[in-house]
Amino acid sequence: MNQAHLHMVFNHFPIIGLFFGTAILLYGILKKQTILINTAYIMFIFCMIMAKATMMTGEGAEEIVEELGISHDIIHEHEELAEKYMKVLYALGLLSIAGLVANSKKHAKASLVSYIVLLLAVAGVVFSKFVGTSGGEIRHTEIREVATNQTNEIEHSEHHNDDH
């Protein structure tokens, strides 16, 4: 298993885990269930750890795909987004640790922490779409904007020819 393979294995956890963790946190807040809130916090901490593992394999993955002829520009764009996303996940993981401590001590601000974590998690979910898509575009040319525009032009052209 090489760095590119590991990178692809690890990178799904921070995205999918964040999505499910956010849903669990929201439900936990609505139902006032500390166990669910804590479960979400643990998921966010795990997402932070897996995102760090993803970042650690990114350089090796970059070298491998550049050898395959992939443009450095598209890789660099993904790398820049991933570094910003990592900052969101660090903040989310650290706030989740604070939330776990606040909940364990039944601190008066525990509820406030959960709302702040929820807002950050929602922002992370939105941001993860851009990071994930930019990574997918490196090897999946069919999801690139150019491919979508070309498909739309072909479909429009075929539809126009059917009318004649």
Return the higher-pLDDT residue of 146 and 138.
138
pTM of the shown model = 0.84
The C-alpha atoms of residue 43 and residue 28 are separated, in whole angstroms, by 13
Return the higher-pLDDT residue of 15 and 164.
15
Taking the CB of residue 113, how many other CB atoms lie within 10 A of it?
20
* Confidence band, pLDDT 50/70/90 cuts, at residue 161: low
Contact 95, 163 (CB under 8 A): no
Looking at the 3D structure of the chain, how many domains does it have?
Answer: 1
pLDDT for residue 71: 81
pLDDT for residue 108: 95
Q: Containing domain of residue 142, as a range? A: 3-162
Give me the CATH number covering residue 36. Answer: 1.20.120
Task: Report H helices in the chain.
Answer: 3-31, 34-67, 72-104, 110-139, 145-162
